[in-house]
């Protein structure tokens, strides 16, 4: 028995292999052309979108001309964002597993020129074109200072870094550039508003862009392998289109993020965004501004969960600012809505005991909280027991003094 | 409890006639003086100072020899027994290099996480004394994500296990560029553990490591240590794929050790039944522990570990001692539990440990003074390892091997000369087992594309790579093979067993959902079928539900007075014959077979009395495996006048017995082999006895058995003839209930006939007229 048939017996059977097809001409399907690099040829598709083209509610020209000062603090490292030297980058890969056996077979690169938004898509038509692909990507990276991606921090950039490292040609990749990943920032703004912060979901719900007949991400690796095995260019059409739209959406999303971050408290129209902006302000230690955003969010909010979140954050900020009476008022509003919020009950009890010196009120709240803590088998119960005992001691002492 | 020394306990045992009457053999290994050499002058002054502070003024001769070999640039294997200071053999040269070259890196491989963590603790202590210049880290499944980044960038010594190298490091080698570019040493501890299937996998992982090192231009030196095996040179060279220098002159001193071979007394002469080895071992261990002798008790299986633990704890409980005096330690425990037990052992809170062979490896658990082995561990090397587990210091120690009634055990206990003369085993691996090889070729192609003409270890992989290309796992372009799949191949290859997936056992008592253990896939039908009693930390759980697809078993704690034991039915089909030979009486063959295993029923066995108190049915899917087997078949007329029933019992008896001695012949684990007896094999059309390998594709045992055919049969005959039972017992052909009345006699007749020694011709002649 020969080796291969023996192996087939030992190993589970697969479908019988299809004979490799001769490579067909890709140009009619993808509209690009072969380019020759010092490392051999690969395939390049270049599209130039005029600046009056609209995507996601704005003209690309508006996107280009806007200032992105609000986004500077989210870069890694923190850095000014200048669209003239910014590269939008998205890869299509042979898998999600990572490791040295996962290849980026298509890299989409977008950038603005004074005349247009240019999208270059570099494709390796087979594995032997990888060096050429990497070379072209490297060339584009060299002339830019900032890279914008969606989920690039954990996926695209480490993967490219691995590819560059394997090439062992001294390519720097994106190392040394400012990187802005729009996924974590989008999550911070819309996590509570949207069920998912995938690019699809953001396009549909935030940018108002609808794709038709888009290839789902999970199907891309196998589609590429099918292309390798059959050489049929039309198989790549959907992938190239998908990658192209990702790049254009990146630019639109960047603009949308800047617009939201620019909102003043009084101009917010979405309670979730106002709440998110409050968090960002608090992170920058600007608590009065955070309170203004929370105020705006509270006025816009209708959902109960959101209301409670707003009140809790407001109370916490007021406490830190030393505005204890105002904080206490918020804790009371929280407890009126959610009796079993033990955290707020504890804060309020502390306030009455130590700030307002109203031991009777403190006792009342502690008693009620203790009962609820018992019912919920909360570990806080013992804290409340201690507090209650101390309050009663103090009250007895005060009674004795009188 | 009262504390006395080992010598006093020894005297008590010697004066105990019941104990001594069951001792078949006694061996005293005398204390030995050490052989020393001065610390060579080239050793870095900081290291010299460190050694002096630790009271090390001179080196054992083997440590000095290792240092010299490394200086000369030789890859080496140091073969010395436990507690001989082998870690210094690699730590000294490695630290020396790291002190001289800040950028230099070393990779340490230990077979288990526990060993790796032990080692790091020591290295960190050394490094602190050397001014924290050398950063040592463990890298395993428990290493948190942020720590991983620091380790990749700054770890001078990265300590890991082959599994992690296989699935975590090699497939991400670009992240480890600093390590690979500067790799000066690869240290592999416990080389002898890498044998059989595991070793065959690890040899391939090392071939992959070698490829990656070449890619980064590194050419590290290999320093390995091993317990005593017969073929360290051959094994080391096979595993590493390069010539090695062996250093095996042990210069370390050792204390006196007394070893007893103990055969439990026969309690039923006609059935050849001996008192349970578990009960005997428990009694001996109880005696030792109650004299405050720190004792380790080795059991042959997880189940035995738990049963022994239960017995010992109950015994100490009755004596009013804390239950925690005795702890269990076995593979199925979760890492955290194991770490805790190891710590308590070191701290002396625990006096007795019941262990499977997990502790056979050199984890430093300090001051054990006695070892009790429940059953022959299966190989002579393991036996010495386990006997050597106690008494690591200069002090005297004692060890008792308690035989079970299996033929292998009875052979060893009654033939101690064999134990002494035969010497330790050969470690055998077959890195070119097709299935194993192909798995690692996939992983290797994932790591780096293969180039035409490139070799993988000693082999030219082109034909196999072409096969993978046909299967569309690889793609060949311009003379290179690239990975063409979205899968991460290392995730689908487990180094330790044939299957990649373990079943989780989940405790659901009182609405909990807590994972309490793991069971390997092929053992699942035997251990965690519905109705099975699963014992964990001497608590008994009943399996309520087994989710076969989801690989989960749901258990509930119950009070029982029994445990369960499942039967495995095996069906076997011959697929291909690699070689066969017509002998005068029988035909021997080896080749490829398809084994289908299914469990149909289980027995309920009462604790202490071990009586069978009931049974239950199991309905689980059949497990199939392609593997290799050795078999012999009896030609037409061989059986002569023997009726079908007698022939059946002879075949069964021969299969049982030969399966057991085959592991002795091969010096492999008895669990590596399975047997089957067929009255009329669908393939040979004749009565046939099969011995098959329990790893897909086989690792080469079948071919060796084919060659050893005559010796196997002769040894089987001598065991039957020297067995005192009447009609068959677990120590020879199997219990009468299994092989039927007359099983012993029929088996002997068959074996003698097969060798041409018996009255086969006469029997056949006598039978002829009747036909």
> What's the pLDDT tens digit per position in B175-223?
999 999 999 999 999 898 898 788 999 999 999 999 999 999 999 999 9
Q: Which element (helix H / strand E) includes B277?
A: helix B277-290
Domain boundary among B228, B247, B266: B247
* B484: contact with A, CB 8 A cutoff: yes
Question: Could you give the residue ranges of the DSSP H alpha helices within A22-150?
Answer: 27-30, 60-65, 130-142
Q: What is the pLDDT of residue B673?
A: 85
Cα atoms in the 13 Å half-sphere on the side-chain side of B175: 17
Structural domain contains residue B366: yes
**pLDDT value at A7 more than 80:** no
Average the pLDDT over B391-413 and give the result: 81
Structural domain contains residue B497: no
CA–CA dist B746, B528 (Å, integer):
37
| Closest in A3, A95, A165 to B177, CB measured | A165
Q: What sign results for the dihedral spanned by CA atoms B45, B50, B53, B56? A: negative
Give the residue carrying structure tokens 């793609």.
B475
Angle at A384 between CA A380 and CA A387, to 5 degrees: 140
Q: Which residue has the higher pLDDT, A360 or B737?
A: A360
- State whether B232 and B296 are in the same domain: no
Residue B485's closest chain A neighbor by CA? Answer: A94
pLDDT above 70: percentage of residues in chain B: 90
- Partners of B438 on chain A (C-beta within 8 Å) are 7, 11
* B464: contact with A, CB 8 A cutoff: yes
Three-class SS of residue B581? Answer: strand
- State whether B316 and B202 are in the same domain: no
Structural domain tally of chain B?
5
Per residue in B2-45, pLDDT (tens digit) is 456 888 889 999 999 999 999 999 989 888 888 999 999 999 99
Interface test with B, best of A10, A12, A126 (most B CBs within 10 A): A10
List, in sequence order, every beta strand (DSSP E) within B269-380.
Answer: 273-274, 295-298, 326-329, 352-355, 370-374
Q: Nearest-CA distance from A328 to chain B in Å?
A: 40
CA–CA dist B346, B327 (Å, integer):
13
Average the pLDDT over A123-150 and give the result: 95
- Partners of B472 on chain A (C-beta within 8 Å) are 14, 17, 225, 229
CA–CA dist A98, A384 (Å, integer):
50
- Partners of A228 on chain B (C-beta within 8 Å) are 475, 484
- State whether B378 and B350 are in the same domain: yes
- Partners of B434 on chain A (C-beta within 8 Å) are 3, 6-7, 10
Peptide bond into A77 cis (omega under 30): yes
- Partners of B471 on chain A (C-beta within 8 Å) are 14, 17
Average the pLDDT over B370-374 and give the result: 92
* Domain A19-262 superfamily per CATH: Ribonuclease H-like superfamily/Ribonuclease H (3.30.420.10)
Q: Could you tell me the pTM of the whole model?
A: 0.79
CA–CA dist B752, B756 (Å, integer):
6
CA–CA dist B556, B534 (Å, integer):
9
- State whether B63 and B134 are in the same domain: yes
- State whether B599 and B738 are in the same domain: yes
Three-class SS of residue B30? Answer: coil
Q: How many residues does chain B have?
A: 771
Provide the domain limits for residue B446: 434-485
Q: What is the pLDDT of residue A32?
A: 93
Q: Which residues partner with B676 through β-bridges? A: B690
* B578: contact with A, CB 8 A cutoff: no
Does A4 contact B467 at a Cβ distance shorter than 8 Å?
yes
* B98: contact with A, CB 8 A cutoff: no
- State whether B556 and B640 are in the same domain: no
Q: Does domain A264-337 have CATH number 1.25.40?
A: yes
Single out the residue of A284, A330, A281 nearest to residue A307, CA to CA: A330
CA–CA dist B288, B294 (Å, integer):
8
**pLDDT tier at B766 (50, 70, 90 boundaries)?**
very low
* pLDDT mean across residues, chain A: 90
Residues 6+ apart with CB under 8 A from B337: none
Structural domain contains residue B73: yes
- Partners of A101 on chain B (C-beta within 8 Å) are 171, 445-447, 483, 488-489
Average the pLDDT over A112-137 and give the result: 96
**pLDDT value at B131 more than 70:** yes
Average the pLDDT over B528-552 and give the result: 85
Does A101 contact B438 at a Cβ distance shorter than 8 Å?
no
Residue B390: burial class (beta carbons within 10 Å; 0-12, 13-18, 19+): buried
Structure tokens at B437: 């090889």
Q: What is the pLDDT of residue A376?
A: 84
Q: Which residue has the higher pLDDT, B536 or B326?
A: B326
Residue A283: burial class (beta carbons within 10 Å; 0-12, 13-18, 19+): exposed
Per residue in B331-345, pLDDT (tens digit) is 555 556 666 776 777
Structural domain contains residue B472: yes
A→B interface, C-beta within 8 Å: 1, 3-4, 6-7, 9-11, 14, 17, 94-103, 126-128, 161-162, 165-166, 221-222, 225, 228-229
pLDDT above 90: percentage of residues in chain A: 70
Does A10 contact B464 at a Cβ distance shorter than 8 Å?
no
What CATH number corresponds to the domain at position B122? 3.40.50.300
Q: Nearest-CA distance from A100 to chain B in Å?
A: 5
Q: Which residue has the higher pLDDT, B694 or A311?
A: A311
Q: What sign results for the dihedral spanned by CA atoms A137, A140, A145, A146? A: negative
Question: Could you give the residue ranges of the DSSP H alpha helices within A66-122?
Answer: none
Single out the residue of B671, B664, B715, B660 nearest to residue B694, CA to CA: B671
* B576: contact with A, CB 8 A cutoff: yes
Residues 6+ apart with CB under 8 A from B746: B642, B646, B647, B649, B650, B653
Per residue in B427-444, pLDDT (tens digit) is 778 888 887 899 999 999
Weakest-pLDDT range from A195-199, A386-390, B56-60, B411-415: B411-415
Q: Nearest-CA distance from A250 to chain B in Å?
A: 26
Single out the residue of B567, B460, B569, B436 nearest to residue B166, CA to CA: B436
Per residue in B473-513, pLDDT (tens digit) is 999 999 999 999 999 999 888 787 655 457 888 898 888 88
Q: Nearest-CA distance from A18 to chain B in Å?
A: 9
Q: Which ipTM score applies to this complex?
A: 0.86
- Partners of A102 on chain B (C-beta within 8 Å) are 486
Interface test with A, best of B173, B448, B467, B592 (most A CBs within 10 A): B467
Backbone angles phi, psi at B348, to 5 degrees: 80, 10
- State whether B553 and B576 are in the same domain: no
Per residue in B443-471, pLDDT (tens digit) is 999 999 999 999 999 999 999 999 999 98
Does B478 contact A128 at a Cβ distance shorter than 8 Å?
yes
- Partners of A21 on chain B (C-beta within 8 Å) are none
Per residue in B578-630, pLDDT (tens digit) is 899 998 889 999 998 988 888 888 988 877 666 788 888 888 888 888 889 99
> What does B228-243 look like in DSSP terms, one character per residue?
--S-HHHHHHHHHTS-
**pLDDT tier at B633 (50, 70, 90 boundaries)?**
very high
* B177: contact with A, CB 8 A cutoff: yes
Q: What is the pLDDT of residue A150?
A: 96
Residues 6+ apart with CB under 8 A from B273: B266, B267, B405, B729, B730
Residue B171's closest chain A neighbor by CA? Answer: A99
Q: What distances in angstroms separate CA A203 from CA A95, A123, A189, A198, A206, one per listed residue?
A: 23, 25, 14, 9, 6
Per residue in B673-723, pLDDT (tens digit) is 889 998 888 888 889 999 998 877 777 788 889 988 998 999 899 888 887
Does B434 contact A222 at a Cβ distance shorter than 8 Å?
no
Single out the residue of A161, A80, A78, A145 nearest to residue A111, CA to CA: A145
CA–CA dist B502, B498 (Å, integer):
11
Three-class SS of residue B565? Answer: strand
* B175: contact with A, CB 8 A cutoff: yes
Weakest-pLDDT range from A33-47, B156-170, B288-302, B452-466: B288-302
| Closest in B467, B475, B696 to A127, CB measured | B475
Three-class SS of residue A285? Answer: coil
Residue A360: burial class (beta carbons within 10 Å; 0-12, 13-18, 19+): exposed
Structural domain contains residue B496: no
Per residue in A312-343, pLDDT (tens digit) is 999 999 999 999 999 999 999 999 998 888 99
Q: What is the pLDDT of residue B2?
A: 46
Weakest-pLDDT range from A178-182, A294-298, B395-399: B395-399
Structural domain contains residue B514: yes
**pLDDT value at A20 more than 60:** no
Structural domain contains residue B226: yes
Domain boundary among B396, B421, B446: B421
* B474: contact with A, CB 8 A cutoff: no
Three-class SS of residue B280? Answer: helix
Give the residue carrying structure tokens 């989008």.
A186
- Partners of A161 on chain B (C-beta within 8 Å) are 174
Single out the residue of A210, A72, A229, A161 nearest to residue B173, CA to CA: A161
Average the pLDDT over A33-39 and give the result: 95
Structure tokens at B222: 């290999």
Q: What distances in angstroms separate CA A394 from CA A197, A355, A360, A402, one per listed residue?
A: 52, 15, 10, 12
Residues 6+ apart with CB under 8 A from A313: A275, A278, A279, A282, A290, A294
**pLDDT tier at B760 (50, 70, 90 boundaries)?**
very low
Same fold, A19-262 and A264-337: no
Question: Could you give the residue ranges of the DSSP H alpha helices within B61-112?
Answer: 61-71, 86-100
Does A100 contact B448 at a Cβ distance shorter than 8 Å?
yes
Does A101 contact B575 at a Cβ distance shorter than 8 Å?
no
| Closest in B173, B475, B575 to A228, CB measured | B475
- State whether B237 and B325 are in the same domain: no
- State whether B415 and B441 are in the same domain: no
Structure tokens at A36: 């020759």
- State whether B321 and B286 are in the same domain: yes
Weakest-pLDDT range from A150-164, B90-104, B469-483, B665-679: B665-679
Structural domain contains residue B334: yes
- State whether B542 and B625 are in the same domain: no
Interface test with B, best of A99, A163, A217, A224 (most B CBs within 10 A): A99
List, in sequence order, every beta strand (DSSP E) within B150-265.
Answer: 157-160, 183-188, 221-226, 245-247, 257-262
All structural domains of chain A with their residue ranges: 19-262, 264-337, 339-402
Q: Which residue has the higher pLDDT, A51 or B680?
A: A51
Domain boundary among B510, B536, B560: B560
């Amino acid at each position: 028995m020969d080796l291969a048939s023996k192996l087939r017996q030992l190993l589970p059977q697969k479908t019988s292999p299809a004979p490799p097809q001769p490579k067909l001409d890709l140009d009619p399907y993808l509209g690009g052309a072969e380019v020759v690099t010092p490392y051999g040829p690969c395939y390049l598709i270049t599209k130039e979108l005029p600046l009056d083209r609209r995507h996601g509610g704005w003209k690309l020209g508006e996107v280009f001309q806007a200032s992105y000062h609000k986004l500077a603090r989210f870069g890694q490292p923190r850095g000014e964002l200048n669209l003239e030297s910014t590269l939008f980058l998205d890869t299509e890969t042979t898998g999600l597993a990572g490791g040295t056996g996962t290849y980026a077979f298509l890299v989409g690169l977008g950038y603005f020129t004074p005349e247009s938004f240019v999208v270059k898509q570099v494709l390796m038509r087979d594995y032997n074109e990888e060096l050429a692909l990497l070379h072209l990507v490297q060339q584009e990276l060299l002339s830019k200072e900032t890279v914008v991606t969606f989920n690039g921090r954990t996926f695209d950039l480490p993967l490219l870094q691995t590819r560059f490292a394997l090439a062992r040609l001294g390519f720097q990749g994106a190392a040394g550039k400012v990187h802005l990943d729009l996924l974590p920032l989008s999550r911070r703004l819309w996590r509570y508003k949207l069920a998912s912060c995938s690019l699809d979901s953001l396009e549909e719900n935030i940018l108002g862009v609808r794709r038709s007949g888009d290839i789902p991400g999970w199907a891309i690796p196998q589609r590429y392998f099918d292309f390798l095995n059959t050489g049929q260019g039309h198989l790549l059409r959907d992938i190239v289109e998908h990658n192209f739209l990702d790049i254009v959406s990146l630019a639109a999303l960047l603009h949308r993020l800047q617009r939201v971050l620019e909102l003043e408290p009084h101009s917010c129209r979405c309670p979730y965004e106002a709440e998110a902006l409050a968090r960002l302000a608090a992170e920058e230690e600007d608590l009065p501004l955070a309170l203004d955003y929370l105020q705006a969010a509270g006025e816009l909010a209708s959902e109960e969960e959101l209301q409670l979140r707003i009140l809790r954050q407001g109370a916490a900020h007021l406490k830190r600012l030393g505005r204890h009476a105002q904080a206490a008022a918020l804790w009371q509003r929280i407890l009126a809505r959610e009796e079993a919020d033990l955290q707020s009950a504890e804060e309020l009890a502390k306030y009455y005991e130590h700030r307002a010196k109203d031991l009777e009120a403190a006792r009342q709240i502690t008693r009620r909280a203790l009962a609820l803590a018992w019912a919920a088998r909360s570990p806080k119960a013992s804290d409340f027991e201690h507090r209650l005992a101390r309050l009663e001691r103090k009250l007895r002492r005060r009674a004795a003094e009188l | 409890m009262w504390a006395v020394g080992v010598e006093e306990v020894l005297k008590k045992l010697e004066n105990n006639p019941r104990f001594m009457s069951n001792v078949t053999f006694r061996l005293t290994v005398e204390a030995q003086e050490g052989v020393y050499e001065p610390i060579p002058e080239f050793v870095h002054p900081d290291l010299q100072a460190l050694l002096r502070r630790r009271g090390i003024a001179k080196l054992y001769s083997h440590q000095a020899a290792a240092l010299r070999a490394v200086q000369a640039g030789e890859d080496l294997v140091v073969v010395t027994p436990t507690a001989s200071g082998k870690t210094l053999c690699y730590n000294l040269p490695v630290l020396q290099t790291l002190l001289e070259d800040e950028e230099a890196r070393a990779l340490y491989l230990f077979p288990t996480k526990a060993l790796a963590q032990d080692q790091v603790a020591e290295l960190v202590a050394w490094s602190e004394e050397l001014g924290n210049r050398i950063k040592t880290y463990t890298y395993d499944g428990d290493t948190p994500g942020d720590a991983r980044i620091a380790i990749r960038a700054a770890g001078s010594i990265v300590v890991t296990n082959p599994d992690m190298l296989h699935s975590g490091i090699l497939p991400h080698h670009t992240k480890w560029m600093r390590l690979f570019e500067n790799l000066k040493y690869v240290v592999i501890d416990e080389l002898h553990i890498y044998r059989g299937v595991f070793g065959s996998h690890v040899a391939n992982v090392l071939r992959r490591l070698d490829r990656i090192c070449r890619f980064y231009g590194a050419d590290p030196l290999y320093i390995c240590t091993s317990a005593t095996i017969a073929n360290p040179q051959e094994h080391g060279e096979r595993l590493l794929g390069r010539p090695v220098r062996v250093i095996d002159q042990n210069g370390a001193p050792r204390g006196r050790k007394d070893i007893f071979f103990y055969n439990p007394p026969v309690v039923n002469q006609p059935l050849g039944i001996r008192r349970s080895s578990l009960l005997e071992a428990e009694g001996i261990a109880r005696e030792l522990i109650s004299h405050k002798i720190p004792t380790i008790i080795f059991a042959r299986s997880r189940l035995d570990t738990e049963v022994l633990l239960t017995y010992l704890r109950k015994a100490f409980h009755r004596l009013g001692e804390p239950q925690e005096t005795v702890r269990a330690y076995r593979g199925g425990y979760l890492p955290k539990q194991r770490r805790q037990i190891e710590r308590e052992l070191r701290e002396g809170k625990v006096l007795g440990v019941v262990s499977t062979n997990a502790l056979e490896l050199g984890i430093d658990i300090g001051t054990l003074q006695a070892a009790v082995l429940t059953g022959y561990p299966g190989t002579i090397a393991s036996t010495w390892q386990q006997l050597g587990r106690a008494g690591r210091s200069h002090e005297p120690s004692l060890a008792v091997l308690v035989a079970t009634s299996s033929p292998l055990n009875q052979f060893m206990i009654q033939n101690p000369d064999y134990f002494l003369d035969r010497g330790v085993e050969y470690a055998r691996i077959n890195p070119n087992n097709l299935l194993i090889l192909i798995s690692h070729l996939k992983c290797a192609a994932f790591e780096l594309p293969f180039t035409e003409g490139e070799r993988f270890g000693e082999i030219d992989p082109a034909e196999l790579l072409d096969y993978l290309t046909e299967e569309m796992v690889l793609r060949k372009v311009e003379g290179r093979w690239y990975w063409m799949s979205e899968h991460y191949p290392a995730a689908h290859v487990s180094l330790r067993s044939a299957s990649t997936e373990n079943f989780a056992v989940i405790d659901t008592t009182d609405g909990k959902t807590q994972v309490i253990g793991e069971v390997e896939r092929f053992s699942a039908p035997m251990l965690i079928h519905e109705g099975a009693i699963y014992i964990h930390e001497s608590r008994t759980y009943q399996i309520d539900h087994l989710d076969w697809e989801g690989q989960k078993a749901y258990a509930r704690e119950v009070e029982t007075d029994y445990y369960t034991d499942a039967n495995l039915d095996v069906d076997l089909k011959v697929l291909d014959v690699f070689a066969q030979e017509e002998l005068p009486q029988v035909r021997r063959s080896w080749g490829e077979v398809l084994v289908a295993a299914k469990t149909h029923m289980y027995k309920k066995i009462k604790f202490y009395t071990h009586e069978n108190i009931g049974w239950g049915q199991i309905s689980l899917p059949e497990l199939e495996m392609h593997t290799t087997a050795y078999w012999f078949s009896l030609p037409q007329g061989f059986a002569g006048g023997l009726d079908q029933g007698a022939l059946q019992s002879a075949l069964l008896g021969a299969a049982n017995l030969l399966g057991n001695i085959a592991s002795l012949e091969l010096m492999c684990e008895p669990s590596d082999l399975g047997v089957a007896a067929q009255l009329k094999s669908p393939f040979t059309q004749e009565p046939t006895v099969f011995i098959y390998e329990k790893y897909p594709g086989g690792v080469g045992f079948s071919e060796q058995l084919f060659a050893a055919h005559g010796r196997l049969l002769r040894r089987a005959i001598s065991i039957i003839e020297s067995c005192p039972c009447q009609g068959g017992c677990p120590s020879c052909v199997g219990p009468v209930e299994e092989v039927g009345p007359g099983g012993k006699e029929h088996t002997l007749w068959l074996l003698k006939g097969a060798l041409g020694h018996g009255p086969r011709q006469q029997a056949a002649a006598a039978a002829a007229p009747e036909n």
